[in-house]
Amino acid sequence: MSAIYALPGNEDFADRLAQHSGLPRRVVQVHRFPDGESRVRIEPPVPRSVAVIVCTLDHPDAKLLPLVMAAATARELGASRVGLIAPYLAYMRQDTRFHTGEAVSARVFGQLLGGAFNWLITVDPHLHRYRRLGDVYPLDGYVVHAAARLAEWIAREVPKPLLIGPDGESAQWVGAVARMLDAPWAVAAKQRHGDRDVRITLPALDRWQGHTPVVLDDIIASGHTMIATVQCLRERSLPPPVCVAVHGIFADGALQALHAAGAGRVVTSNTIASPQAQIDLSEDLAQVMLARCGGRLRTVAPPHRRTRP
Ligand SMILES: O=P(O)(O)OC[C@H]1O[C@H](OP(=O)(O)OP(=O)(O)O)[C@H](O)[C@@H]1O
């Protein structure tokens, strides 16, 4: 029988996958030796089964080696195929050589994981210059989209939402969510001058007075894209914007800075665990996982509610 293996820190998401799928959840132990090396130990898989390893890949450098060791060990101990569920996929933003001599990290990282796993399931990877997961990852890749779950949450929690994307790149997910909600939407222009130096120019929003602004993006990392957008909205005397993202990394006090800038609620999906991770995608990933393992989902996703703001 196939089984789900959680790398440390991924137990809650793996338990949810196990609950939806009926697959057993197994343990991966990672011990750090005093010299900084790791010892990885897994419960041996059933011979010729599929081993599904769960590891979200924020702060990826420390996670990569134990992850690759767990995959190799599952294969050595009898798994016929080894799959990776990485709800958040790292290094997708370093997708070109921005300056001479830089690593194209997205491609290098993809090749490393491609050598360890047969397939990969992830959520809305930051595909910008690469358009398809297969362009970066030499394995069978499956993308789960968070849009329907984000739309469900906004429909339930936000009266008269006006969706705002902080940059042109966000139009794809902002437009998708707005269409599901039948809500108005607009996209700002972003200029990034550094990791924490982001300038936002908002379009005219006067015709949607009385709406609640919802800033929607794929990633909150330093938070400065959201912070600059929130500041622009507050300068126009709009109410505290609700901030919604697929992936909440929240580096270095980003959440506090976002609230200090005037944000209202800040909510993300649970691709990365945090108190803001209130939108559960585990059922959607379990569905795709089971298709790779030859099983059927135990529960049925509720139909998406369509509401007018
Ligand atoms: O919280 P932050 O540190 O601001 O990071 C998050 C932002 O970074 C990404 O875009 P990016 O600026 O990399 O632009 P790109 O789409 O051109 O890669 C992402 O789409 C967010 O907008």
Taking only the tens place, the pLDDT of each residue in 229-247 is 999 999 998 999 999 999 9
Ligand 1 centroid from CA 227, angstroms:
12
| DSSP strand pairing (50-54 vs 3-6) | parallel
Backbone angles phi, psi at 93, to 5 degrees: -80, -20
Q: Residue 128: what pLDDT?
A: 85
Q: What is the pLDDT, as a whole number, of residue 298? A: 65
**pLDDT at residue 303, as a whole number:** 40
User: Does residue 222 line the site of ligand 1, with CB under 6 A?
Assistant: yes
**pLDDT value at residue 196:** 87
Mean pLDDT value across the chain? 93
The residue-averaged pLDDT of 70-75 equals 98
- pLDDT tens digit sequence for 116-165: 999 999 999 998 888 899 999 999 999 999 999 999 999 999 999 999 99
Nearby residues of 74 by Cβ (< 8 Å), 6 or more positions away? 5, 42, 45, 51, 53, 82
Minimal-distance CA residue to ligand 1 atom 3 = 222
Q: Which of 217, 255, 272 has most ligand 1 atoms within 8 Å of its beta carbon, as the pocket-test mutant?
A: 217
Q: Looking at this predicted complex, what is its ipTM?
A: 0.95
Architecture of the CATH domain 147-279:
3-Layer(aba) Sandwich (3.40)
Question: What percent of the chain shows pLDDT beyond 90?
Answer: 90
Q: Find out whether the beta carbon of 125 lies less than 6 Å from any atom of ligand 1.
A: no
Does 269 contact ligand 1 (Cβ within 6 A)? no
258: Cβ–Cβ under 8 A, 6 or more apart, which residues? Answer: 220, 223, 226, 227, 230, 243, 266
Q: How far is the CA of 309 from the centre of ligand 1 (A)?
A: 28
Q: Say how far apart CA 147 and CA 277 lie, in whole Å.
A: 15
Mean pLDDT of all residues in 22-30: 95
Ligand 1 centroid–CA 225 distance in Å is 7
The closest residue, in CA terms, to atom 8 on ligand 1 is 219
Of 46, 114, 38, 47, which is closest to residue 70 (Cα–Cα)? 38
**Would you say the CB of residue 198 lies under 6 angstroms from ligand 1?**
yes
How many angstroms does the Cα of residue 153 sit away from the middle of ligand 1? 23
Q: Which CATH class is domain 3-144+281-292?
A: alpha beta
Q: How confident is the model at residue 255 (pLDDT cuts 50, 70, 90)?
A: very high
Dump pLDDT digits (tens) for 38-58: 999 999 999 999 999 999 999
Atom of ligand 1 nearest to the CA of 192: 12
Can you read off the two tokens belonging to residue 212? 């609640």
- Kindly give the number of the ligand 1 atom that is closest to the alpha carbon of 93: 18
Whether ligand 1 lies within 6 angstroms of the CB of 93 is answered as yes
Q: What are the φ/ψ torsions at residue 104 (nearest 5 degrees)?
A: -85, 85
Residues of the chain with CATH 3.40.50.2020: 3-144+281-292, 147-279
Ligand 1 center to 53 CA (angstroms): 28
CB of 192 within 6 A of ligand 1: the answer is yes
Q: What is the pLDDT of residue 265?
A: 98
Q: How far apart are CA 95 and CA 234, in angstroms?
A: 33
- The pLDDT tens digits of the residues spanning 176-192 come to 999 999 999 999 999 99
Is residue 234 within 6 Å of ligand 1 at its C-beta? Answer: no
Question: What does pTM read for this prediction?
Answer: 0.93
Task: Say if residues 298 and 21 touch (Cβ distance below 8 Å).
Answer: yes
Q: Read off the pLDDT band of 304 (50, 70, 90).
A: very low
Mean pLDDT confidence for 263-290 = 97
Check if 224 has its Cβ closer than 6 Å to any atom of ligand 1: yes
